[in-house]
């Protein structure tokens, strides 16, 4: 068995996964009230909510990809390449295909009804559910675009992940992390993201549609590699832990500059190079800060965490359909914007939990369709502090 640090179950990585995906419930519950184009749009927007969403939008999905990079290294473990590819197809492609056929169509149907594009029942609309591709047609993966991207990128980057778990890969990455920590080279990590925004974003089309989304593929691919590298190298984790307040301060300044120079510019000349650099820095340092604070404070593994970690994937698949249904009826009933947003978020969480806990989790045939193993297995307790593999991980239990 590999002694690579990334093969050890980390409490902070699991907490970040729960946080990153759980945050989607709040985010998507607020989309109808943001004033941005979404499947359902409320007639009145919530200004403060849109400002909050604009802020988190700079690091929300990057955090998901960063955490997924660490999770990919963990899932790879000592599996053979063929076994790993089969596992990824089963855990990602199968749920994506199932969701596109069963979970997503109600979202498209309610959008068509809400916009006056269809007037019949869901059963009457169903025969046209798979005609054409969205938005002109009805076939779509909607919020599940992430599954397609992480599957394709994981397969493309598999040579890196395989190399990273070898003894030579571990030595090389450990040396690189120590050099970066000693010389402060981690502050250069925004540059690949900035370069993608600067050079590939103008060439990209079909955003979140995979084909032609060059910036999305490269940008998120870099974040997957960053996640595997950061969570696989104790020296870098120690550095981010120690510099978490610095990262937070830089993030505040970077976002404030973005907001003043670009978001509130009111038609001022747009400098793409400056925007790309500021965006890359802002995203990266907020990820540094989040990882650093998680490494400091999210080290406990309560019983709740194991169950929440397993629930993340089914929640992700289910939540937006529940949100769209809830928002549709909330808007139809004329609920005020702020109570409507809170009600949509609460309904999404509660209904998703009921479906997961009462239907998906206990039924073996449904579990693989939601990215879970067919048979429920008791979560193995983490390794004791005396284990040699556990000692490979940095200890953040006290200030340094």
Q: How is the chain split into domains, by residue range?
A: 5-104+141-391
Extract the runs of DSSP E, i.e. beta strands, from 197-342.
none
pTM of the full structure: 0.90
Q: Where do we find the tokens 């498209």?
A: 108
Which residues are CB-neighbours of 118 under 8 A, at least 6 positions away?
Answer: 109, 112, 125
The answer to whether 261 and 316 have CB atoms below 8 angstroms apart is no
3-state DSSP helix/strand/coil % of the chain, to nearest 5: 70, 0, 30
Q: What does each of the 400 residues of the chain score in pLDDT, given as a tens digit?
A: 344 444 567 899 999 999 998 888 999 999 999 999 999 999 999 999 999 999 999 999 999 999 999 999 988 988 999 999 999 999 999 999 999 999 999 999 999 999 999 999 999 999 999 999 999 999 999 999 999 999 999 999 999 999 999 999 999 999 999 999 999 999 999 999 999 999 999 999 999 999 999 999 999 999 999 999 999 999 999 999 999 999 999 999 999 999 999 888 765 667 899 999 999 999 999 999 999 999 999 999 998 999 999 999 999 999 999 999 999 999 999 999 999 999 999 999 999 999 999 999 999 999 999 999 887 655 444 443 333 333 334 434 333 3
Token code pair at residue 98 = 């199932």
Residue 114 CA to residue 126 CA, distance in Å, equals 16
CA dihedral 9, 390, 230, 26 (to 10 degrees): 40
Are 209 and 57 contacting, i.e. CB atoms less than 8 angstroms apart?
no
- Coil, helix or strand at residue 205: coil
- Are 98 and 367 in contact, with CB atoms under 8 Å apart? no
For residues 95 and 371, the answer to whether their CB atoms sit within 8 Å is: yes
Place of tokens 């830089």: 250
């Amino acid at each position: 068995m590999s002694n690579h640090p990334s093969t050890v179950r980390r409490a902070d990585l699991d907490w970040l996964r729960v946080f990153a995906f759980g945050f989607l419930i709040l985010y998507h519950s607020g989309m109808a009230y943001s004033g941005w184009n979404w499947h359902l749009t409320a007639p009145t927007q919530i200004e403060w909510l849109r400002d909050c969403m604009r802020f988190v939008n700079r690091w929300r999905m990057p955090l998901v990809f960063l955490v997924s990079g660490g999770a990919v290294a963990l899932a790879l473990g000592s599996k053979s390449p063929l076994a790993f590819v089969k596992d990824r197809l089963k855990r990602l492609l199968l749920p994506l295909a199932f969701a596109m056929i069963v979970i997503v169509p109600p979202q498209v149907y309610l959008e068509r009804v809400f916009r006056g594009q269809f007037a019949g029942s869901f059963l009457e609309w169903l025969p046209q559910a798979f005609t054409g591709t969205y938005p002109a047609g009805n076939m779509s993966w909607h919020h599940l675009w992430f599954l397609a991207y992480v599957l394709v990128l994981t397969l493309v980057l598999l040579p890196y992940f395989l190399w990273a778990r070898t003894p030579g890969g571990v030595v090389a990455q450990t040396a690189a992390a120590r050099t970066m920590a000693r010389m402060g080279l981690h502050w250069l990590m925004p540059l690949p993201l900035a370069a993608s925004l600067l050079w590939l974003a103008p060439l990209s089309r079909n955003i979140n549609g995979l084909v032609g989304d060059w910036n999305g593929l490269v940008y998120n691919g870099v974040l997957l590699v960053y996640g595997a590298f950061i969570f696989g190298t104790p020296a870098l984790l120690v550095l981010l832990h120690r510099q978490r307040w610095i990262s937070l301060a830089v993030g505040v300044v970077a976002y404030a500059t973005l907001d003043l120079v670009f978001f509130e510019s009111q038609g001022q000349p747009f400098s793409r190079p400056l925007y790309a650099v500021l965006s890359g820095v802002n995203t990266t340092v907020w990820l540094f800060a989040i990882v650093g604070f998680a490494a400091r404070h999210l080290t406990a593994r309560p019983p709740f965490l194991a169950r929440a970690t397993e629930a993340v994937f089914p929640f992700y698949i289910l939540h937006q359909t529940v949100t769209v249904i809830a928002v549709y009826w909330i808007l139809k009933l004329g609920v005020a914007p702020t109570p409507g947003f809170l009600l949509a978020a609460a309904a999404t969480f509660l209904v998703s939990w009921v479906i997961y806990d009462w239907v998906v989790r206990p039924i073996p045939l449904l579990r693989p369709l939601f990215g879970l193993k067919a048979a429920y297995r008791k979560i193995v307790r983490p390794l004791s502090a005396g284990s040699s593999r556990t000692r490979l991980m940095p200890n953040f239990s006290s200030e340094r």
